[in-house]
A = this chain, B = another copy of it.
Amino acid sequence: MKDKLQLMIPGPTPVPESVLLAMARHPIGHRSGEFQAIVKRTTEQLQWLHQTKGNVLVLAGSGTAAMEAGIINVLSKGDRVICGDNGKFGERWVKVAKAYGLDVQVISAEWGQPLDPEAFRAALEADTGKQIKAVIITHSETSTGVLNDLETINRHVKAHGEALIVVDAVTSIGATSVPVDAWGLDVVASGSQKGYMMPPGLGFVAMGERAWKAHEHSDLPKFYLNLGPYRKTAAKDSNPFTPAVNLYFALETALEIMQKEGLEAIFARHSRQQRATQAAMQAIGLPLYAAPGHGSPSITAVAPEGLDAEAVRKVVKNRYDILLAGGQDHLKGKVFRIGHLGFVCDRDILTAVAAIEGALVELGRPPAQPGAGVAAAAAVLQS
């Protein structure tokens, strides 16, 4: 039986039936009052999720489009920026910044390690001429399962006083608190196929007042990703270009489900499932890839020493129809990644752990104590 796929990758994440069915409604006109009502509603829902009173704009595009928009709308050619880079997505934002001719200073950390807030503090304090225009960082680094310390890095940015903070929150929004207004985050980008519990195709950009001020004199060329017209039309509950109408239907329903659960409950669930997953992997002797204490609430990367990570992934997929993510780039074969992001219930964690244990048996490397992983996960989930 092969038609019961359980997605446990960091995106696309599983989607509730009601969200899928909402998406299957006949499209309506995007300039109609009915659609404006949906834009108005989803805008309020997105503000709730981002803990902001400011704009959260919706693009038809992937999370990369949203993040690129976040960068190119607040900067100008030659601007000095700091990019944090401790994984594939950090790398990507360096590439985006360079593609637009920004003057990029990279603060990096080994894959699996978090960015060091002290390195940001030092670089920002050294900039007495206030030349640094932005600090661009990934909150949850999806490629390694590391959560960077956004709160502390942002505090150093605020102490600098001039630089904006531009945050890739693609796998952190909806998994852990990203309080845009309370922290004064200037630009926060995300994508729909993650904590939002809906399919890919929408990107989101939250923009604060300082970001809009920077937007006024940003000279990087852009049209589709120019957020100015999005803001202007959002004020009239509309969009500058034809929006992805059916994905909006899905968004409205997904955010309604999230609002019913409540932000604190959502964050607690992700934290609980993360701890359960970590405990399970440790109980069956599989090392975690992220540095201790720096794991992401949305994804746990596992480095099964002496075992081909792709072999584990294949057995889990072929025998149990659970899709785990592989390692990216040089991590291919070295790690597999368990997504626990979005529409994931505690049962899914038990199931995934059980399947991984089964795969270890099949690969001739059974855990010292069979069932120890599931037991460890259950203990955390019940606590």
CB neighbours (8 Å) of A95 from chain B are 223
Q: With A26-B14, A29-B7, A193-B242 given, is the CB distance from A68 to B199 under 8 Å? A: no
Given contact pairs A29-B325, A200-B244, a sample of 12 additional A-B residue pairs in the complex whose CB atoms are under 8 Å apart: A11-B242, A12-B245, A14-B27, A15-B26, A28-B323, A29-B323, A32-B323, A65-B224, A68-B223, A68-B224, A199-B247, A244-B244
CB neighbours (8 Å) of A241 from chain B are 62-65
Give the residue of B25, B27, B99 whose beta carbon is less than 8 angstroms from that of A7. B27
For the complex, give the distance between the alpha carbons of A200 and B249 in Å: 12
Give the residue of B24, B29, B199 whose beta carbon is less than 8 angstroms from that of A20. B24
Q: With A26-B5, A60-B65 given, is the CB distance from A245 to B200 under 8 Å? A: yes
Interface residues of A in 126-174 (CB under 8 A from B): none
- CB-nearest residue of chain B relative to A102? B221
Q: Which residues from chain A sit less than 8 Å from chain B, CB to CB?
A: 5, 7, 9, 11-12, 14-15, 20-21, 23-32, 59-65, 68, 95-96, 99-101, 191, 193, 199-201, 220-226, 241-247, 323, 325-326
- The winner among A61, A65, A247 for most chain B CB atoms within 10 A is A61
Looking at the assembled complex, report how far the CB atom of A272 sits from the nearest CB atom of chain B, in whole angstroms.
24
CB neighbours (8 Å) of A9 from chain B are 29
- Assess the B62–A242 pair: CB atoms within 8 A: yes
Q: 5 A-B contacts, Cβ less than 8 Å apart?
A: A27-B193, A30-B200, A60-B200, A68-B224, A201-B245
- Assess the B27–A200 pair: CB atoms within 8 A: yes
CB neighbours (8 Å) of A30 from chain B are 12, 200
Which 5 residue pairs of A and B lie closest in terms of their CB atoms, listed nearest first? A201-B244, A24-B24, A12-B27, A199-B246, A62-B241
- Assess the B29–A25 pair: CB atoms within 8 A: no
Looking at the assembled complex, report how far the CB atom of A71 sits from the nearest CB atom of chain B, in whole angstroms.
9
CB neighbours (8 Å) of A15 from chain B are 26-27
- Assess the B223–A221 pair: CB atoms within 8 A: no
CB neighbours (8 Å) of A101 from chain B are 221
- Assess the B99–A222 pair: CB atoms within 8 A: yes
